[in-house]
Structure 1
Amino acid sequence: MPNPISHDQNFKNLILDYSHQALEFFAASEAAHINPGAQITPIRQEQLKNRLGDRFHELDVPLLVEWPDGRRDALLFVLEEETSPQRFSIHRLAHYCLELSEMYGTSRVVPVVIFLRDARRLPTRLQLGGDQLTYLSFQYLKCDLAQLDASHYLDSQNLVARLNLPNMRWPEEQKVDIYAHAMSGLFSLEPDPEKQLKYIDFIDIYTALDDNQMHEYQQRYPQENSKMTGLTERLLQEGIQQGMQQGMQQGSLSVLLRQITRRFGPLDSSTRQRLQQATEHELECWTDNILDAQTLDDVFVCH
């Protein structure tokens, strides 16, 4: 049985890999004031878990935005992805933001909720009060992906926006084109081959082309398809070569262990650890030494 898709983890990875662009897309009104010199730092989960205990939200992503020149006070963004709108609780989010505000001694907190499904009916404001006054007022930035018009982002230079094209609103007959625009954005905006491969999976998951649609894509967009095929073959070949190299090194280690044990008896744990951590060059040197070595120390001398 296939593992269920972890949408929370997918979006957490996306936000951590592309923090600047994620804020520009998911929290545009607040991110407009974040200049390129600002530093964006994810708050470590261990730190939050130690301080918040059971109140810790593992799959929320707090990002601390700081200005090294001191022109503005730090700003704490709290991003939360919700796959099913009915699971969302504005009370829980407000409580979490208050916890973080107290923990970091700041009132500059921006809560952002990314909805994967239609969330038009959900409240965006919480007010607590009596007949005379409102004593607590809370609201959050809402990014309702299903309500965004994909046509506005087809040629966006924001990679997070391009990757999320499949999650936006578009006519069903444009599904293959949406997939193509997401793919072309990935290849033009992300130079790292490993991240390209990682986010091909992201696009595949959220577009979910069937066999006929994939065949149509391959026919209509041969250039993008060749890039995808070439990338997969390249990384596969690199993986095979790396595996062969690791296999040969492991084989050399096994032979050397047997030879040393036969010459000098059983090895202690520190010597075994030294052998296991050896480089390829060291293994070659020590293997040559074993023939003439009079003591165990002689084996480990490399000139």
Structure 2
Amino acid sequence: MSVQIRVLERDRTFTPLGIRFWDAALDTPVTDRLQVHAWLRDSAYPPVPAVRSPSGVYAFHRLPGQASAEKPAGDDARPETDGPAGEFVIAVDDPGGRYMGAAFSVPLPLGYRGEFLSGGPQPGKAYLFPAVSRPVPPGVAAIRADLADPDTGAPAAYAVLSATVGGITRTAVADEAGRAVVLVPFPTPERLRQGSPPADTRAATWPVSLRARWEPAALRYPFPAREGMNPAWAARPSLKSILDEQRTALVWTDEGQVPAVEWTETLVHGQELRLRTTLAGGGSAPTLWVSAGASPP
């Protein structure tokens, strides 16, 4: 006996926004539980929390203004390109304290299917940057600095510090107190790569090339201070303004010398590197001095 199945109704659901976060230090997906919210910019709607999928993607449902995209009318609909336009601001918080909080904007429709930044003309990744409280993973070097303005002593909040070791570049974002930690994998000592007999790797050293960017006037704050929102979000600059819109800073590695836009330190295997400004009278300052938005000499 054959059975005929007749489809009475078809329910098609589309998720207009899903985000997978990546660890900026290890370049691997973030597996820690995060709190992620989306807010329709310049609206009175409350923020919408994301739901974490088993694969680690944070998906948003019932976003304001996106009902027609989430329930497309027909099988030939293309909500990823033809859905309603809207700009959403994303807030990311890590209850575990391993990653810095982040804010960034996402315009919908994305224009492609899949996770945010996985398609389009310039695919990328949604990176989260390490907080200074994050434990340092094995095999990873920690380069720490408390960044400050040499004229006022104020913290260089949200400055960007980049380090290149053995051809690998990693970036850190300073927190509101100017504290930054760059986590970058220790290179394999040359003797081990050449197949030499076992060696004491504690003696291995590498040059570290460093640069900083800082320009408070370039920072943009996408979240307003208002009732119903986490007050910490209003003080959080957008990641785009932090990473892409701050100019190169002049860094005072030595009070008695000309500041530099790039300088070199030495990394010792298995040891943290702490960056400080050397004072003219000898000794070191507790901070590394950076001048905001300086033009390179």
TM-score (norm: length of structure 2): 0.23
Relative to the length of structure 1, the TM-score reads: 0.22
Larger Rg: 1
Structure possessing the higher relative contact order (Cα contacts under 8 Å, 6 or more residues apart): 2
Higher fraction of strand: 2
